[in-house]
Amino acid sequence: MKRRSFLTAAALTTAGFSLPGDATAQAATPSAAPKRDGPRDIPRYPQDAWLDQIPGKHRLFLDATDVAGAGGALGYAWNFMRTSTTGYQLKDEDQAVVICLRHEATQFAFSNALWTKHDFLMKEKYTHPETGKKVKGGNVFRPGATGTKSMDNDFTWDALAWRGVHFAICGTATRGLARQIAGARADKEAVQAVVDELMANAPGNAHLMASGILATQRAGEYAYTVVRA
């Protein structure tokens, strides 16, 4: 999905739109920011508490929004942990690593048992992040992909979860996927049953968040370095 672009004031002027007469002066002399007596008081919520409970002083949050981002997040997480060991003699438990799967990356959280069970997932077509070839059905990020072989054992969500990596799963996208699987006539209870099934088949250390973008924002408040994968 293409990223949105925003017109700058210069572009607006070029397009024939003029700024208010005093806009330039206002831009040149911005008003002073309000003074604060101390650091900003950031509210804390119980549904975010897990972000602070992961052991490890070095915090990294990888944000994936599509299959290419999911592949990038997997590689970045693996390399971050590997080079922390080889370059700093640290252990996995010294790192707090979270991978966020949201938007078009969300379905790649779930097991191949579900991809085989549900036609909606079996019809999924995407580009393999490693080979660049087209894939239909089967989740190469989890063991047991059909049609196309799963990625090497060290390069699956399951292997990373075993090493202590956590996953923030977009609740909005997961419910959207559940509605597609449950069918147009499904009621809320039926949709929720599919959500529960999906999360029961997520990798270890998975957390269903209200939305992926909210999880990404919260990670910044908990002192994670947020990287777009």
Record the pTM. Answer: 0.82
- Report residue 134: phi and psi, to 5°: -75, 140
Give the chain's mean pLDDT.
86
Position 101 scores a pLDDT of 98
For 159-169, the pLDDT digits (tens) are 999 999 999 99
pLDDT band, residue 150 (cuts 50/70/90): confident
Backbone dihedral region of 140: left (phi > 0), alpha (psi from -120 to 50 degrees) or beta?
alpha
For 126-140, the pLDDT digits (tens) are 999 888 999 988 999
Backbone dihedral region of 103: left (phi > 0), alpha (psi from -120 to 50 degrees) or beta?
left
Q: Is 99 helix (H, G, I), strand (E, B) or coil?
A: strand
Integer Cα distance of 226 and 229 in angstroms: 9
Position 36 scores a pLDDT of 54
Domain 54-228 CATH assignment equals 3.40.1260.10: yes
For 27-55, the pLDDT digits (tens) are 444 445 555 555 778 999 999 999 999 99
Position 215 scores a pLDDT of 98
Position 38 scores a pLDDT of 57
For 198-221, the pLDDT digits (tens) are 999 999 999 999 999 999 999 999
Question: Among 221, 168, 225, which residue's Cα sits nearest to residue 43?
Answer: 221
Residue spans per domain, the chain: 54-228
